[in-house]
A = this chain, B = another copy of it.
């Protein structure tokens, strides 16, 4: 199933360099390395739009495990190549956190991969939440356009 990107509400771009250790026998970034790139992108997004970074999860005791991950690979990144991950927050009314991503080669801004992740919220007691936790409501009030 092809990924269909949605209109993002908030976006953040972060540059990184492909590590030698992330490269596979074909000398391009191993497809599994992109999971790291997306996680980094999400973390940088959370550091920029404060209130849903890992520190907030630790503080509130909530966790937000990834329940769905999809990546579509278009071109390959080489070891040492600079790339940009654009992390896009996709609004969803329910108790879900949806991000989409575009990974660009920095030199020519060609798309290397697109991706999407879905996270849910789990309370400190280990229960999956069907309504948004308070800290996430606060984050939405703070950052989302009214």
Q: A residues bordering B, Cβ < 8 Å?
A: 1-2, 16-17, 19-21, 25-27, 30-32, 35-36, 39-40, 43-44, 47, 54, 63, 65-74, 76, 79-80
Contacts and interface: CB of A to CB of B under 8 A. Distances in A.
Contact of A73 (B30, B66, B79): B66
A54 B67 CA distance: 26
A79 B65 CA distance: 16
A76 B36 CA distance: 19
Contacts of A63: 26
Interface of A is mostly: mixed
Copies in the complex: 4
B1 A31 contact: no
B80 A73 contact: no
A141 B109 CA distance: 40
A43 B1 contact: no
Given A1-B1, A25-B25, A31-B35, A43 B79 contact: yes
